[in-house]
Amino acid sequence: MSFSFSVVIPVFNRQRELPQALESIIRQAPHLEVVIVDDCSSDSSLQVAESYRTRLPNLKVLSHNLNLGVGPARNTGARNVQNEWVAFLDSDDELVLGGVQIIENAITEYSSTADGLWFRCLKDDGSLSPDLPFAGLMGYEDYLEFLEKTAGKNRDMLKCCRVTTFRTTAYPDSRSLEDLYHLDFAKEFVSAFIPSVVRLYHQGASNQLVETVARINVADTTFLHDMQKTLTAVLTKHGSRLKRKAPSVYRGYLERLLRIQVNLGRRRDASSTLLKLVKDNSLSVATGTFFALGVINPTLLGRLRRQLSKT
C-alpha cells in the first residue's frame, strides 16, 4: 500500500519510550515512511532507532551533532521525507490503531482546500485534547479565536501538513516555543481541524517541551535568550491581532516575556513590557510583584527563587 504522508519522530534521550512509538506504527502500517531524527542523545536512542530498520523497511535515521531542540529536529525530518505530507509524532507517544488510515482519509478529503491538518489526542487520564470540540476549515482569524477559547485548557494535537509549506514556514531554529510556527502557519495557510483521535499522548516522560517551558531554568541563559527572541517575534508579527481576537493569550505572552527579561537583567526592556501591560489594564499582581522584586531588589528575588526550588 502506498501512503500520502510520512511520519517524523524527533528523539532526545528516549531509549525506553521510542519502541512504543515505533510499534504503534508497525502494528498498522509497517511500510509507512518513518524519519527519526536523533537530536544528539546521550543514551542509546540512536541504536534503538537503527535496530528497527528490518521491521520498518522505509525507515530513515538521521542525527544531529549538537542538541538543537525539537523544532530544528522536526525541520530536519521534514526536509528528508519522500511523501507530499508529513505528520509529527513525539517519541514518547503513539498512533492509535487505525490512526494511519484516519490521516490518509483526511488528506484525501481536504487536500484541495487545506495545507494543514490537526487531529485530537487522548491523554493518559482519559481526557481529550483539545477538550473544546472543533471541526472544519480554519483560517488565521479562526485560529486566533480558537486560541482564546482554549486559553488555559488542553490544546495538544497531532499536526500533519503539506511538505511544501516548509519552504516559507518552519519551526524555530532553537529550543524555544512552537507558538510562532503555529501562528505563522495559520496566517499563511488554511488548516482543517478533524475531531478524530489519532495520537495517544503520554505525559510521564522527562525532558518534555511543555515541562521545560513551565519550569524555566534561569541559569540556562541560552534558552532564555531563545525564548525572548521567539516571544518578541510573536508579539511583533501577531501582537495587534492577538490583542484584538485573543486578549488573554496576548496578555500571557507579554507576562512571560517580562519575566524572561527580568531574569536576563534587561531592566529597560522589562519596563517597556510592563508599560504595555499597564496601558492595557492587564497587569496581574503576581507579575507586578515579580517585576518589582527583580528590578528593585533582585537579591531578594534570587533568595525566594532558591527557596521555592527546595520545596
Grid cell 492595557 — which residue?
A: 280
Please work out, in degrees rounded to the nearest 5, the angle formed at the alpha carbon of residue 29 by the alpha carbons of 26 and 33. Answer: 95
Q: Of 66, 56, 68, 51, whose CA–CA distance to 29 is shortest?
A: 56
Q: Could you identify the residue written with the cell 512509538? A: 21
> Interior CA angle at 226 toward 45 and 182, to 5°?
80
pLDDT at 70 over 50: yes
Q: What is the pLDDT of residue 134?
A: 73
Ranges 168-177, 257-266, 276-285, 286-295: which has the least confidence = 286-295
At 214 the pLDDT is 46
Closest CA to 22 of 45, 2, 1: 45
What is this structure's pTM?
Answer: 0.90
Q: What is the pLDDT of residue 199?
A: 98
pLDDT the model gives residue 310 = 53
- Give mean pLDDT, residues 250-256: 95
Closest CA to 32 of 61, 4, 63, 62: 4
Q: What is the pLDDT of residue 211?
A: 45
- The closest alpha carbon to 13, from 227, 208, 220, 219, belongs to 208
Q: d(Cα 39, Cα 41) in Å, to the nearest integer? A: 6
> What is the number of alpha carbons within 13 Å of residue 142 lying toward its C-beta?
14
Q: Where are the beta strands (DSSP E) in the chain?
A: 5-11, 34-38, 59-63, 85-88, 94-95, 116-123, 128-129, 136-138, 157-162, 191-201
SS3 116: strand
* Residue 308 banded pLDDT, cuts 50, 70, 90: very low
Please give the pLDDT value at position 282. Answer: 81
List of domains in the chain: 5-201 (3.90.550.10), 216-310 (no CATH)
C-alpha to C-alpha distance for 259 and 243, rounded to whole angstroms: 19
pLDDT exceeds 70 at position 247: yes
Pairing label, strands 85-88, 157-162: antiparallel
DSSP reduced 3-state for 35: strand
What grid cell was written down for 183? Answer: 501562528
Confidence (pLDDT) at 212: 44
pLDDT of residue 131: 81
Q: Report pLDDT digits (tens) over 189-242.
A: 999 999 999 999 998 766 554 444 444 556 688 999 999 999 999 999 999 999
Concatenated DSSP letters of 258-274: HHHHHHTT-HHHHHHHH
> In 3-42, which positions are buried (b, 16+ CB within 10 angstroms) versus exposed (e)?
bebbbbbbbbbbbebbbebbebbeeebeebbbbbbbbbbe
Can you tell me the distance from the alpha carbon of 170 to that of 183, in angstroms, rounded to the nearest whole number? 11
Q: Are 305 and 218 in contact (CB under 8 A)?
A: yes
Of 176-185, 241-250, 287-296, the poorest mean pLDDT is in 287-296
β pairing state of 85-88 and 5-11: parallel
pLDDT digit string, tens, across residues 84-120: 999 999 999 999 999 999 999 999 999 999 999 999 9
Give the helix/strand (H/E) hosting 96.
none
According to DSSP, residue 187 is labeled H
d(CA 175, CA 16): 22
* Per-residue pLDDT tens digits for 268-306: 899 899 889 988 888 888 887 778 777 766 554 455 445
Give pLDDT, residue 210.
Answer: 46
Residue 294: what pLDDT? 72
Angle between helical axes of 140-149 and 221-245 (0-180°, round to 10): 100
Each residue's pLDDT tens digit, 19-64: 999 999 999 999 999 999 999 999 999 999 999 999 999 999 999 9
